[in-house]
Structure formats: C-alpha cells, structure tokens
C-alpha cells in the first residue's frame, strides 16, 4: 500500500485515530491516511456519480468508515481461529466499496473481492485499489448470481438484501466451514426467521457492534449452513 497525502484536516485524522483506539485497532499512519483519502475520493466522485447518499465528509467518516471498521475486529478474531493461508473475503453488493475497501485497508493480509452490478461503483473501487496501492483488493462488475463459486472464507454484505435473499444468492460462494456475515442495524429477528425457514442457512450468532460517534444499533449476523457448526 503506498502512502497518500491525507485528504482531510487534522480534526478528521484525530477522530479516526480515536475511533480506531475505541475499536482496539492498530492502524498505521499509512492506513489512517488511506482511509481519509477514501473519504475524500467518495466526496469527489459524488459530485459526478451517485455513489452514496451522504455528501458531508464528516458524516461519511462515521457512517461509512467507522461503521465498516467496526466489523474488522470480529472478522479478525474469527479468521485467527481458522487454519490455512490468507483469509478470503467477498463483499456482495459492495456499492462504493463499503465495507470492502475499508476491509482491504485495515486487513492487508486478507484478500478482498467486491462484486456489484453498477459499473460506476465498480470503477470507483478499482480506482481506489490503484490510488491506494491495495494489491489485496479486486472488483468485479457483475451480478453475484452470475459469478462462478468463489470458495471464500467470509461472504459479507452491508446493504445488499434481506438475509434470506443474501443467503440464497451468495451462499454458494462460501467455502466449507466458511461464514455468511450480514451487517445489520437493529436485531433482524424477522429476517432471521425467514432465513431459517426458507434456506439451509441458520443464524449462528448475532453480535452487537458499537460504532464510534454513531448513536444507532448495529450488529453482525453470523450464518452457517445448517449441517455445520
């Protein structure tokens, strides 16, 4: 990953450093600068392309970067318990690369693949991979149901679909003993009931997340196939 000039002022950097400390993440100066550059580039691209509804950089820092970073410690914890090599993560319906780009920055040892059906959003992800030197990040412009099975350890989604639809379309990309992970707001009890009624996936665990500076409920729903632990 190459070093980039911070695109935000010292206040933004200080907020990001505090958020990382709260999440118990050790981010290097290079990683911090890369995350701030992501916020800057989101704002720049939003002037022409509708990548995200948020126009304010401060809001994007919290709702996009901090929100995505909150998932990193649980993902790292799960990955540490798995045998094998580099963790393979698939971000489904990645949009403007969230959480995929953030994961690639914060988890340099993992291989991140983002899939989205909107070409301009995939172009942004590819641009960020180049600008930030993220060799562990790739993006595919396609529908997830049209992709050959990828055998990933974790298949994650932040704003793609209901858990049932997510599992039905993306479950085949999960490796044996891998996990589907849904990033959700409030505890999605109805979605979980539908998931377990309509698919062979079950919600193994629902993990609350505390996102710095965000006064809203967030959680990760960890799902595995019914016949695995």
Could you report the per-residue pLDDT of 103-129, keeping only the tens digit for each?
999 999 999 999 999 999 999 999 999
pTM value surpassing 0.95: no
Distance CA 10, CA 3 (A): 17
User: Is there a contact between 212 and 19 (Cβ–Cβ < 8 Å)?
Assistant: yes
The rounded percent of the chain whose pLDDT value lies above 90 is: 80
Distance CA 32, CA 189 (A): 35
Residue with tokens 């340099």: 108
Distance CA 164, CA 26 (A): 35
Structure tokens at 145: 């149901």
Q: What is the pLDDT of residue 160?
A: 85
DSSP, collapsed to helix, strand or coil, labels residue 218 as strand
Which of 130, 106, 105, 126 has the alpha carbon at shortest distance from 116?
126
Could you report the per-residue pLDDT of 207-218, keeping only the tens digit for each?
999 999 999 999
Q: Mean pLDDT across the stretch 57-72? A: 94
Distance CA 147, CA 201 (A): 20
Q: What is the pLDDT of residue 83?
A: 62
Give the Cβ contact number of residue 209 at 10 Å.
20
Structure tokens at 92: 């489904």
> 85 or 42, which is more confident?
42
Q: Mean pLDDT across the stretch 144-161? A: 94
Collect all residues with Cβ–Cβ distance below 8 Å to 214 and sequence separation of at least 6. Answer: 62, 63, 66, 67
Structure tokens at 13: 């950097």
């Amino acid at each position: 990953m190459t070093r980039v000039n911070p695109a935000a002022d010292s206040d933004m950097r200080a907020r990001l450093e505090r958020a990382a400390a709260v999440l118990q993440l050790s981010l290097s100066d290079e990683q911090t600068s890369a995350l701030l550059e992501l916020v800057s580039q989101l704002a720049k691209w939003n002037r022409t392309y509708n990548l995200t509804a948020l126009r304010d950089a401060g809001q994007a820092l919290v709702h996009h970067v901090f929100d995505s970073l909150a998932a990193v410690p649980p993902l790292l914890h799960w990955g540490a318990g798995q045998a094998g090599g580099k963790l393979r993560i698939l971000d489904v319906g990645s949009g403007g690369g969230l959480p995929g780009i953030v994961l690639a920055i914060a988890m340099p040892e993992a291989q991140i693949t983002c899939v989205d059906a909107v070409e301009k959003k995939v172009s942004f992800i590819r641009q960020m991979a180049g600008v930030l030197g993220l060799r562990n990040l790739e993006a595919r412009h396609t529908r997830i149901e049209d992709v050959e099975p990828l055998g990933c350890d974790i298949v994650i989604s932040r704003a793609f679909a209901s858990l049932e639809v997510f599992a039905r379309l993306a479950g085949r990309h999960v490796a044996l003993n891998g996990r589907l992970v849904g990033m959700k707001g409030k505890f999605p009890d109805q979605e979980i009931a539908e998931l377990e009624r309509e698919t062979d996936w079950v919600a193994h665990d629902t993990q609350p997340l505390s996102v710095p500076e965000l006064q809203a409920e967030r959680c990760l729903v960890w799902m595995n196939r019914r016949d695995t632990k």
